[in-house]
Each structure stands twice: as structure tokens, then as C-alpha cells.
Amino acid sequence: MKDLNQVSRRQFLAWSVGAASLAVGASTAVITTPGSARAAEEIRLPLPYIDFVIDPEMVRQCAFNHYFNGGCMHGAASGLMQAFKEVYEGENTGWDLLPLGMYKYGSGGVAGWGTLCGILNGCMAVLNLIGLHGELGDHLMSWYSTTLFPTANCDGFVATTGQEAIPDEDVRAHTVSESPLCHISISKWCKAAGVSVADTSKSGIRYKDDRCSKICADTAAKTAELINEYADNHQILEPFATPAQYVGCLDCHSGRKDQVGKMDCLGCHVPEHVVKVGSEHPGKGKRRL
């Protein structure tokens, strides 16, 4: 039996718009021969997500727990995967076959390199499993980059491994990363908080882990919300818009095809220092030969 709080979207659709909707869910399921050993090649992407509503609050708590047992990418991906495994329990969809340990490599921005934040990497990996990384990716990356973290959403959380979230009123700093990069996201916060990556609180938790576990929980929960919203509407109602401070840069530079990226340019480029042929460039407009 499924938990009561795991509302069936399939049922809901059937009630509201009739039995034709059933076909939507059914068409995504993998048909297997009863009793046969189900080999890994029976996992067909995309995996289904449309039939049941996953609970963002459950995802938040699960991601928080998993964070302390394998790092940020593992935490975010496993929180979401666990939710899908539970709502699809007993159905041979492929969710049941996936192991939770696939995404430990992303910790610390991939093997500690500080590149893409593992939390985003983990959420995007699960979006990829359900075929929505293109539809929801911009929105999630932007939401993370522009949100003031950590939030108070995890106040009172205790991980299954024993770590207690520091109450938000005692958190030393709240920062907006303005970047999806692990290095920048963590460094900005550590600088504002006046701590090193290794410093620990009196309760023994690393400040950095307190921060990152909360962002892991919140970003996984946000991903669950986006998935639910997309499943209901086939779109995101208020889609990502490039922040005003660098929308102008992209107006020119996405069309010019001279760079790859949608990150906030101003984290790395100072407009006054940017040199351009001609004089209309924002800043001093030094001429290049």
C-alpha cells in the first residue's frame, strides 16, 4: 500500500478528466515478463514521473539524511530517487532497479574540484532520468544561483546519522551564490560567515556541512515541486528569466556564439575591463586591435 500522503496523480487525472488519462501513465511503464530476471537493460529512459505526486517535504528530509551519508550530489539525487522508488513501489518501472549510490562522485563539485555544485548536479541527474533536464534545468540552476541560502526550512531536522541542523537564527551568514559553481557558492558563504571549510560548531557539525546539507534538502525539495508543477501543467508557470544585472550581456553574447554559458557574467568579468572592438560596449570601451 502507498502512503496516504502520496496522492496518485493517475487517480487524480482519472477522476478529473476521465479514463483517457490513464494511457499517459500506462504508456511510460516498462512491460516485463512475470517471473523473469529483470536485467539492467530493462531500465528504459525516461523513467515515469507523471503517475504520482512526490512529496517535497519528504524529499527535503530524505535529501538531508542522505547528504550525511555520501555527500551533496548523493544527498540530492537519493532524496528524489527515494521518493520515486516509494511512490512506484511494487511497479516494475525501473525506479526499483536503480541503486542509490550512483552519484557520490559529485561531492565537492565533482571529486572535490569545486566545479558544478553537486546538489544541482544530483537534481539535474534525476531530471535527466525522467527526461526533464531540458525543460526544468534553466529554472533550477537559476533558482539556486539567486536564492538566499541557507533557509530556515530545515530547522529541527536531525539526520538519521545524528547531525542536527543549526537553528536558522544561529546561522552565521546567509548568502546568494550568484553562481552554480561549488567553489564560488561555498567560498562566498564561508567568507561572509567568517569560517573555514573545516571549522565546526560546538555541536561538532562542520559549518560548511550545515549549510550545504540545508541547500541540498531545499534544492531537492524545489526540484520535486518543479516536477509536480510540470506534471500538472506541462510547463513551469513562472519560468526562469535571466537576472537584470547580466541579461544585457547575454542579449549580445548568446547570439554571437563566442561563449558558452548562462552563469552570472559579473562574477568573473568586470564590465569596465571588458574590451571590445567599437565603442558601444558597456564600460570604458578600450579598443582592441
Please report, as ranges, the residues that interact with ligand HEC according to CB under 6 A.
Answer: 246, 248-253, 258-259, 261-263, 265, 267-269, 271, 274-277, 280-282, 288
Which of 52, 55, 49, 65 has its CA nearest to residue 217?
65
Q: How many CB atoms lie within 10 A of CB 119?
A: 33
One-letter amino acid at 208 equals: K
Please identify, using beta-carbon distances, which residue of 163 and 177 lies nearer to ligand HEC. Answer: 177
Which of 19, 3, 113, 124 has its CA nearest to residue 52?
3
Tell me how far, at minimum, the Cβ of 280 lies from ligand HEC, in Å.
5
Which of 250, 237, 263, 249 has its CA nearest to residue 180?
263
Q: Taking the alpha carbons of 218, 220, 223, 227 in that order, is the dihedral positive or negative?
A: negative
Tell me how far, at minimum, the Cβ of 113 lies from ligand HEC, in Å.
13
Please identify, using beta-carbon distances, which residue of 165 and 182 lies nearer to ligand HEC. Answer: 182
What's the Cα-to-Cα distance from 1 to each of 53, 89, 175, 261, 287, rounded to whole Å? 15, 9, 42, 45, 69
Tell me how far, at minimum, the Cβ of 72 lies from ligand HEC, in Å.
19
Please identify, using beta-carbon distances, which residue of 194 and 261 lies nearer to ligand HEC. Answer: 261
Tell me how far, at minimum, the Cβ of 147 lies from ligand HEC, in Å.
18
Task: Compute the CA torsion angle 73, 77, 78, 84 (nearest 10 deg).
Answer: 180
Alpha carbons 142 and 12: distance in angstroms, whole number: 31
One-letter amino acid at 249 equals: C
Which of 264, 265, 269 has its CA nearest to residue 178?
264
Tell me how far, at minimum, the Cβ of 271 lies from ligand HEC, in Å.
4
Please identify, using beta-carbon distances, which residue of 19 and 277 lies nearer to ligand HEC. Answer: 277
Q: Report the alpha-carbon angle 228-129-259, nearest 5.
A: 95
Tell me how far, at minimum, the Cβ of 281 lies from ligand HEC, in Å.
5
Alpha carbons 283 and 281: distance in angstroms, whole number: 6
Please identify, using beta-carbon distances, which residue of 44 and 287 lies nearer to ligand HEC. Answer: 287
Tell me how far, at minimum, the Cβ of 4 lies from ligand HEC, in Å.
45
Please identify, using beta-carbon distances, which residue of 74 and 139 lies nearer to ligand HEC. Answer: 139
Please identify, using beta-carbon distances, which residue of 84 and 246 lies nearer to ligand HEC. Answer: 246
Please identify, using beta-carbon distances, which residue of 6 and 185 lies nearer to ligand HEC. Answer: 185
Tell me how far, at minimum, the Cβ of 181 lies from ligand HEC, in Å.
6
Which of 189, 101, 180 has its CA nearest to residue 146?
180
